[in-house]
Structure 1
Amino acid sequence: MQKLIRIQKEDNVVVALVDLAQGDKLQFEGEELVVLSHTKAKHKIALVDLQPDDKIYMYGVLVGKAVTTIHRGGLLTTENVKHQINPVSEKTANVSWTPPSIEKWKDRTFMGYHRPDGQVGTANVWLFFPLVFCENRNIEVLKDIFEKELSIGKVSKQQQLLRNLISGNTSQVDIENENHSSRSLENIEVKFITHQGGCGGIRQDSETLAKLLAGYVKNPNVAGATVLSLGCQNLQVDIFKKALSNIDDNLEKPVLIYEQQQLGTVDHMLNTIIKESFEAIKKANEIERKPAPLSKLKMGLECGGSDGFSGISANPALGYASDILAAIGGSPILSEFPELCGVEQELVNRCVNDVDGQRFMQLMKDYEKSAENVGSGFDMNPSPGNIKDGLITDAMKSAGAAKKGGTSPVEAVLDYAEYVTKPGLNLLCTPGNDVESTTGLVGSGANIVLFTTGLGTPTGNPIAPVLKVSSNTILAERMPDIIDIDTGAVIRGEKSILEMGEEIMDYVIKVASGEVMSKADQLGQDDFIPWKRGVSL
């Protein structure tokens, strides 16, 4: 197996593909390289002698500078390298794009839920949510009632285990086979969202939350919604309705809204909600899957718990799948703006419209400024887990993370909670925080999310399947309950990026058609955290 890889010819560092010992002598590109210190797989080694202030390149872009002398074969660390990027002020070139062959994909379909507005869902969900945190308890009560009655006899493995222990049954039992359940409504899922917003804070927070929640209603995976309001909060019903109208002024989905201060007692309100919502849910259950072209897919591109292999295997493989989707008229959506720091020039040059390029740069500048105002900055983005696994500067992390977006032209640049309407690659301003970003992707219309990880994360979403793509096989084998797709074969040299990207697309079609359930959905991982701007990276 190959032990080192130079990602692009311009790079002056290489990545260790396996653990290396001090003194190891390796043949690389026709020359001997002596490893100067113990180096774990995924970390970086200098390919040339680096002096203080010398620039460090990976993925063909500037990712840092040396702060001390690093000899050829030396390990790059947070002590001898600092974050550095090239400044960007304007578009410098028009990038041409050669799309991948779509012969294999142009006539493929998935089995989805068709909506009156022409969108197609990969799921069919009736969604309950509050406009304000004061209604969280009522949402939780409704969740308990509906989940118990609509999933008859559904018991988790852990519930069954505790029941056995309480009854004194300590013998080994097949919990899987004892867990008999049946759904009374086969074509509809009922999901519930709670949050801590809608009042307090600043009014802009409530307005942004209204746009996000409106996006969840508009999302093609949602058949209809039940919305709870207290009545006196910042996020008034009228603000929510206006946000819905701005996304779609002719929305043809049932949206049931209830205001507690107008309805009186909790019992009366809950009884009314249950009766009316159940009738609407029964009607939504009549919707069945039908064939739809792959162009109806809006695929969120996300990463979390990244490692030093993410930018070599999982992210570029997902990038190739993104290019396939863009070429057939679908909508890949690249998020996490702090993780695009250092690759802005490439993305600006890929923008079809100059206005979008300018907007992208302005959103990046405003975001970084807001982070600096609270004592942080993009250069503080890598997490302890990232650093431990080889991502030691934000630019290094970003250069690999951006590979999820492939090479296709950028057709639109959107701010947080804006809805995707254009086919082709969309850039969406979200934080790098896993759940906040995934929450935003789905609020902007993603009907499926592809989530690469090198360290493992259980993140999911209430209404859209979230597929975990591991960068390495060790993770896939250690955490098989959360990993859907393993790209470790790329690291071992057994598969190409193109082959792996096509495998990802095949798997996406199966999940979008309801043939396979994502691991996050199997775990019931329904995460929803709106972004409070400027607080998180």
Structure 2
Amino acid sequence: MITAPINTVRLSDRDNVVTAVRALQTGEEGAIELIPRGHKIATADISKGDAVHKYAQIIGYAAVDIAKGSHVHVHNLDFRNVDQEHAFGTNMLPATPVAKPDTFMGYKRANGRVGTRNFIAVLTSVNCSATAAKMIAAHFTDEKLADYPNVDGVAAFCHGTGCAMGGDGTGFEFLQRTLWGYAKNPNVGGVLMAGLGCEMMQIDWLIESYGLVPGPRFQSMNIQDVGGLRKTVELGIKKVEAMLPIVNEDNRTECPASDLMVALQCGGSDAWSGITANPAVGHAVDLLVAQGGTGVLAETPEIYGAEHLLTARASSDDVANKLLGLIDWWQEYTSINKGSMDNNPSPGNKKGGLTTILEKSLGAAAKGGTTPLNGVYKYAETVTERGFVFMDSPGYDPASVTGQIASGCNLVVFTTGRGSAFGSKPSPTLKVASNTEMYTRMSEDMDVNAGRILTEGASVEEVGREIYDAWLRMASGGQSKSEAQGLGDYEFVPWNVGAVM
């Protein structure tokens, strides 16, 4: 627990920097220059080339001699590719099973999975059918759904690809898995898939590849076969109207917390994300894993430099090697595209006090809690292991969450320090603020204030319990703030990889 009020935060005795809780003037806390809020101050002289430590880990190297009391930031901190020692399975802390399971009110599906929402999804195979899908979904206003109280909405999931792509490449596989994953997500009670007809992403191929069975809850159509946009929209509306009474028959029943699978995300991060919000989410994940539930960490570029902490928790050598294989792929991918893993921190991240990807990753990885890493998955691949797992994705939040929902996540938690206006469908997002100032400014968007750890002396465990309890409420139908504002219709962004031809 952090005792308030404080002026700086030190995370480890090994660190040679601390973080300023408020802006420090020259002379305060030993500062020899102005230190912005959330930024780092050197607690010792650091010679050029020496490592700078935070979280008891290396976050970069001094680009010049840094005097004690100086501002440590992008102007005097260099990034280097890491060459970590990767021990496997040396930090195994299994969750303690609970005596009495927690429950929530969810939708039990025929395949055994459980939904927290009950949507009808209008999925597009290609961008060319996006307008039709939007028009179909827009027809079903709240007034038209009033007679179907168990249906949470009709949502269109449109994207900007589906054609001019290879039919056997990575990008094609990603999109197929994503579309199939949304069609099978437990928060979806009915599916209408709309295509153009001549695109590379053929609906028939998707049905054949993944065993989707046409029926009252799964319908498909192509604009070219139906006879144009207007006729397609009219037919689509009729198909959804026929689906509504069937999906409305689904009722919430009591389900164990072990049926929850939560996507773990952070975006618009600042220096406090890795100190307050992410560790609090990590504790909530530990509580969920103890119940037999699942937390899915993603954003592979944002564990770079922290992957050794995850391999030490790997439940097997195979799991650890899969994770390291993803890191190798990303290093090659960024190199081919003449980029750097250190390109990830955004201008907003840096303004909020973060510097290198190493510092950002060490804070981001805290969302995964402390229990063993039980599985590593491809983008949008169905998660089958329980407990804490990892899914490959970019650090771009909409693309990452899209993959996690396709993998089976029925809830999303999203931490932010700068403030992010993000929401998702069909799986709702809980927003966690890393600092009280932003929480107060964006109170209409934030569900939980992890900044209380600094401003009120709340413990990480206390806020983690608050997040976990909020998951149970939200899983039972309670709206998150992003959900109440209608977010989620434009956040379906499949990861587009490969040549566009």
Instruction: Return the TM-score normalized by structure 1.
Output: 0.88
Q: In the alignment, which of 306, 309, 332 is matched to residue 346 of structure 1?
A: 309
Q: Aligned pair 1:46/2:42, yes or no?
A: yes
Q: Aligned pair 1:18/2:22, yes or no?
A: yes
- Aligned counterparts of 2:37 and 2:97: Cα–Cα separation in 1: 34
CA drift at 1:148: 6.6
Find the counterpart in structure 2 of residue 523 from structure 1: 485
Equivalent residues of 1:301, 1:332 under 8 A apart: yes
Listed as ranges, the gaps of 5+ residues in structure 2 are none
- Aligned counterparts of 1:89 and 1:252: Cα–Cα separation in 2: 53
Q: Aligned pair 1:366/2:329, yes or no?
A: yes
Deviations 1:68-118 (A, max 9, x none): 011111110211101235414653552220536745xx4220011110111
Q: In the alignment, which of 316, 319, 339 is matched to residue 279 of structure 2?
A: 316
Find the counterpart in structure 1 of residue 117 from structure 2: 123
Distance 1:444 1:92, change over 3 A: closer
Letter of the 2:79 partner, please give it: H
- Aligned counterparts of 2:130 and 2:248: Cα–Cα separation in 1: 26
Q: In the alignment, which of 35, 39, 63 is matched to residue 31 of structure 2?
A: 35
Letter of the 2:128 partner, please give it: C
- Aligned counterparts of 1:401 and 1:85: Cα–Cα separation in 2: 18
Find the counterpart in structure 1 of residue 263 from structure 2: 300
Equivalent residues of 2:101, 2:291 under 8 A apart: no
Letter of the 2:133 partner, please give it: I
Matches for 1:73-112 after TM superposition, within 5 Å: 73-84=69-80, 86-88=82-84, 90-97=86-93, 99=95, 102-103=98-99, 106-112=100-106
Deviations 1:39-59 (A, max 9, x none): 122111112110011011111
Find the counterpart in structure 2 of residue 161 from structure 1: none
Letter of the 2:434 partner, please give it: S
Find the counterpart in structure 2 of residue 240 from structure 1: 206
Letter of the 2:198 partner, please give it: C
Deviations 1:145-191 (A, max 9, x none): 2237525xxxxxxxxxxxxxxxxxxxxxxxxxxxxxxx231110211
CA drift at 1:283: 0.8
Q: In the alignment, which of 8, 13, 31 is matched to residue 12 of structure 2?
A: 8
Find the counterpart in structure 1 of residue 368 from structure 2: 405
> Residue 487 of structure 2: SS of its match in structure 1?
coil
- Aligned counterparts of 1:2 and 1:266: Cα–Cα separation in 2: 62
Letter of the 1:17 partner, please give it: V
Find the counterpart in structure 2 of residue 72 from structure 1: 68
CA drift at 1:534: 7.4
Distance 1:242 1:360, change over 3 A: farther
> Residue 308 of structure 1: SS of its match in structure 2?
coil
Equivalent residues of 2:97, 2:291 under 8 A apart: no
Q: In the alignment, which of 237, 241, 252 is matched to residue 289 of structure 1?
A: 252
Find the counterpart in structure 2 of residue 145 from structure 1: 139
Q: In the alignment, which of 180, 184, 187 is matched to residue 221 of structure 1?
A: 187
Distance 1:481 1:80, change over 3 A: same
Distance 1:253 1:490, change over 3 A: farther
Larger Rg, first or second structure (1 or 2): 1
- Aligned counterparts of 2:209 and 2:15: Cα–Cα separation in 1: 47
Letter of the 1:222 partner, please give it: V
CA drift at 1:265: 4.1
Distance 1:57 1:522, change over 3 A: same
Find the counterpart in structure 2 of residue 484 from structure 1: 447
Identity across matched positions, percent: 34
- RMSD between aligned alpha carbons? 1.9
Find the counterpart in structure 1 of residue 127 from structure 2: 133
> Residue 286 of structure 2: SS of its match in structure 1?
helix
- Aligned counterparts of 2:196 and 2:94: Cα–Cα separation in 1: 53
Distance 1:148 1:300, change over 3 A: closer
Distance 1:47 1:243, change over 3 A: farther
CA drift at 1:324: 1.1
- Aligned counterparts of 1:508 and 1:148: Cα–Cα separation in 2: 25
Q: In the alignment, which of 155, 160, 163 is matched to residue 199 of structure 1?
A: 163
> Residue 430 of structure 1: SS of its match in structure 2?
coil
- Aligned counterparts of 2:215 and 2:408: Cα–Cα separation in 1: 16
Q: Aligned pair 1:452/2:448, yes or no?
A: no
Deviations 1:224-265 (A, max 9, x none): 2000122211101233114433xxx78998210112222234
Equivalent residues of 2:102, 2:291 under 8 A apart: no
Count residues in correspondence.
490
- Aligned counterparts of 1:519 and 1:77: Cα–Cα separation in 2: 34
- Aligned counterparts of 1:378 and 1:68: Cα–Cα separation in 2: 22
Equivalent residues of 1:62, 1:86 under 8 A apart: no
Q: In the alignment, which of 230, 235, 239 is matched to residue 272 of structure 1?
A: 235
Deviations 1:399-455 (A, max 9, x none): 001100111111000011101111011101111111111111111111000000001
> Residue 15 of structure 2: SS of its match in structure 1?
coil
Distance 1:434 1:229, change over 3 A: same
Listed as ranges, the gaps of 5+ residues in structure 1 are 27-33, 152-182
Distance 1:355 1:102, change over 3 A: same
> Residue 375 of structure 1: SS of its match in structure 2?
coil
CA drift at 1:5: 1.4
Distance 1:534 1:68, change over 3 A: farther
Equivalent residues of 1:100, 1:323 under 8 A apart: no
Equivalent residues of 1:62, 1:84 under 8 A apart: no
Instruction: Return the TM-score normalized by structure 2.
Output: 0.94
CA drift at 1:525: 1.0
- Name which of structure 1's ranges 455-464 and 444-453 shifts more when overlaid on structure 2: 455-464
> Residue 483 of structure 1: SS of its match in structure 2?
coil
> Residue 312 of structure 2: SS of its match in structure 1?
helix
Find the counterpart in structure 2 of residue 179 from structure 1: none
